[in-house]
Amino acid sequence: MEAGTLKRNAVLRSRRNRTDRIGDPLLRGLSALAAALAVAAIAGIFYEVVHEAWPAVQEFGLKFVTTNDWNPVTKRFGAAPFLYGTVVTSFIALLLATPIALAISIYLTELAPRRIRRPVATLVDLLAAIPTVILGLWGILVLGPFMRDTVEPALNSVLGFLPIFSGDPSAFGYLTAALILTIMAVPIITSVTREVFETVPGDLKEASYALGATRWEMLRTVVLPYSRPGIVGATILGLGRAIGEAIAVAQVIGGATAINVSLFHTGGTMAAQIASQFAGSPSRLQKASLIYLGLILLVFAVIVNVIARVIVSRGTIGDAPIDPEDGMTEAAAL
């Protein structure tokens, strides 16, 4: 009896040891394979985009970037109108989204009653969950007409002497696209800055209050300087999102292929141009030119994201990024 049980246990144990001998390397190997797949995906993306863009790279070289033309008839393609559109729309979007996102984060970390903080934060996050194609649809049918009939005439009548606010209001154009991008960027920037604000040590804040600072003075001298790297990183992260958005922008920017100074005018961005022309591209060179746009966009997006990640991770890990004494002396000077 005794011997039998022992024997059976020994058999079970050795069987278990055998599966363990396979199991450990197997799980390690499988999970390493998954990681290798992720690395292969990014390498494959770069290779494939360069490969597909190659005919256009050979044809136009670097002057593609400065050519202000997109003409399928003469087969002369250039990126300048779309580079311009991408830069202008993203810049306006960040100009609007960053202060709004900071204000929301201030509200959520300092002002809002505790009970409504989580629900409001969730609602702002949900804004990022709306599919961009739906945001674009809303842009075409609701925001666009509102811009044409209300916002742009008002801007024109007040600031019409500036070339960027001159010309006829229209539903589609740089400004409408920039506003849609703003709506997309706000929740992204907010979620990062809110987290960064929450890491500001309470004793620094209290020290500032103890010196008689008002809430805004405390924010300006403690929270904002302390969070500066996080804020910059979050903004760049929002930029990454804005320059890469293809669908919503394609829906509302109007698809012009030339640079227009007026923000009311229709234009194009790199991502939107690919989305709206890819399926209908008749010639191989045009398709390759679109992918050349994609290559520029990819390089842009990767650089922007890498910078943002580096800044955000540096800003939130480790010591306070500023010398706390700076904030103190400033608060004391009030």
Q: In this complex, which beta carbon is closest to other proteins, that of residue 88 or of residue 223?
A: 223
Q: Which of 6, 12, 32, 210 binds other proteins (CB under 8 A)?
A: 32
Structure tokens at 208: 């500032």
Is residue 315 near other proteins by the rule CB under 8 A?
A: no
Q: Which of 94, 192, 271, 311 binds other proteins (CB under 8 A)?
A: 271
Q: In this complex, which beta carbon is closest to other proteins, that of residue 12 or of residue 37?
A: 37
Q: Which of 98, 190, 260, 289 binds other proteins (CB under 8 A)?
A: 190
Q: In this complex, which beta carbon is closest to other proteins, that of residue 120 or of residue 232?
A: 120
Is residue 279 near other proteins by the rule CB under 8 A?
A: yes
Measured CA to CA, the distance from residue 260 to residue 268 in angstroms comes to 10
Given CA atoms 291, 282, 131, 263 in this order, what sign does their dihedral have? positive
Left if phi > 0, otherwise alpha if psi is -120 to 50, otherwise beta: which for 318?
A: left
Residues 107-146 that bind other proteins (CB under 8 A): 107-108, 110-112, 120, 122-124, 126-127, 129-138, 140-142
If binding means CB under 8 A, how many residues of this protein chain bind other proteins?
84
Is residue 254 near other proteins by the rule CB under 8 A?
A: no
Q: Which of 196, 245, 260, 315 binds other proteins (CB under 8 A)?
A: 245
Q: Which of 90, 251, 257, 262 binds other proteins (CB under 8 A)?
A: 251
Measured CA to CA, the distance from residue 274 to residue 283 in angstroms comes to 14
Give the shortest CB-6-to-other proteins separation in angstroms.
Answer: 18
Q: Which of 8, 18, 28, 284 binds other proteins (CB under 8 A)?
A: 28
Measured CA to CA, the distance from residue 144 to residue 90 in angstroms comes to 18
Q: Which helix (H) or strand (E) holds 42?
A: helix 2-60
E strands, the chain, where? 70-71, 76-77
Measured CA to CA, the distance from residue 224 to residue 241 in angstroms comes to 23
* Span from 24-32, 66-74, 169-177, 223-231 in contact with other proteins (CB under 8 A): 24-32
Is residue 87 near other proteins by the rule CB under 8 A?
A: no
Measured CA to CA, the distance from residue 334 to residue 138 in angstroms comes to 47
* Residue 133: C-alpha distances to residues 138, 173, 194, 212, 254 (Å): 9, 17, 27, 49, 15
Measured CA to CA, the distance from residue 137 to residue 203 in angstroms comes to 48
Residues 36-55 that bind other proteins (CB under 8 A): 37-39, 41-42, 44-45, 48-49, 51-52
Give the shortest CB-163-to-other proteins separation in angstroms.
Answer: 29
Measured CA to CA, the distance from residue 296 to residue 271 in angstroms comes to 10
Is residue 206 near other proteins by the rule CB under 8 A?
A: no
Residues 57-86 that bind other proteins (CB under 8 A): none
